[in-house]
Amino acid sequence: MKTILLLATTALAFSSLAAQAGDAGKGEKLYGTHCVACHQATGAGIPGAFPPLAGSDYLADKTAAITVPVKGLQGKVTVNGTEYNSAMPAFGHFPDEDIADIMTYVMGAWGNAGEDVTAEEVAAVR
Ligand code: HEC
């Protein structure tokens, strides 16, 4: 019984570690260095060139959203009813934790719904 309890507690401790959300504060700094030139500090993007992240309907699909910084994005994409046909570079060389931090920030900034992104979720789309 003791062993089972110990095992259960250990498993719980590990799973809560594994599910640790990205750090939005760190993410904001990384965003300010790596994403802001195109998507802007307001998240509004630049009409006709860079799609918005603020209020973006693309973020509703969390897996798709996380995949963008990991793999980059090119070709036609529709964001909030406007079509873009451009290219975004990949940030796949960033550690999972950094992308989790950035995407946790993006998902919750500028009035976005707010969803935590974990390093495991980033690893899963690689
Ligand atoms: C050089 C400009 C540039 C940089 C830097 C950039 N993006 Fe993008 N991003 C784009 C473009 C252009 C698209 C649309 C690509 C297309 O048309 O296929 C896009 C699309 C997206 C999308 C999906 C569409 C949307 O608007 O929701 C997300 C999410 C995204 N970028 C996140 C990021 C994050 C996070 C970073 C920083 C790690 C970043 N981008 C850095 C240009 C950029």
Atom of ligand 1 nearest to the CA of 51: 26
pLDDT digits (tens, 9 = 90+) for 3-37: 655 556 555 555 555 568 999 999 999 999 999 99
Q: Which of 85, 65, 69 is nearest to 77 (CA)?
A: 85
- Domain count across the chain: 1
1 part of a folded domain = no
Rounded distance from Cα 34 to ligand 1 centre (Å): 10
CATH of the domain at 72: 1.10.760.10
77 part of a folded domain = yes
7 part of a folded domain = no
Residue 114 has pLDDT above 80, yes or no: yes
C-beta 90 within 6 A of ligand 1 = no
pLDDT digits (tens, 9 = 90+) for 72-83: 999 999 999 999
| DSSP strands (E only) in the chain | 73-79, 82-88
13 part of a folded domain = no
11 part of a folded domain = no
91 part of a folded domain = yes
Dihedral in degrees, nearest 10, Cα atoms 73, 24, 10, 12: -80
Q: Which domain holds residue 92?
A: 19-125
76's tokens:
């036609």
12 part of a folded domain = no
pLDDT digits (tens, 9 = 90+) for 41-53: 999 999 999 999 9
Position 18 scores a pLDDT of: 55
Nearest-angstrom CA–CA distance, 119 and 50: 26
**What's the mean per-residue pLDDT of the chain?**
91
Position 43 scores a pLDDT of: 98
48 part of a folded domain = yes
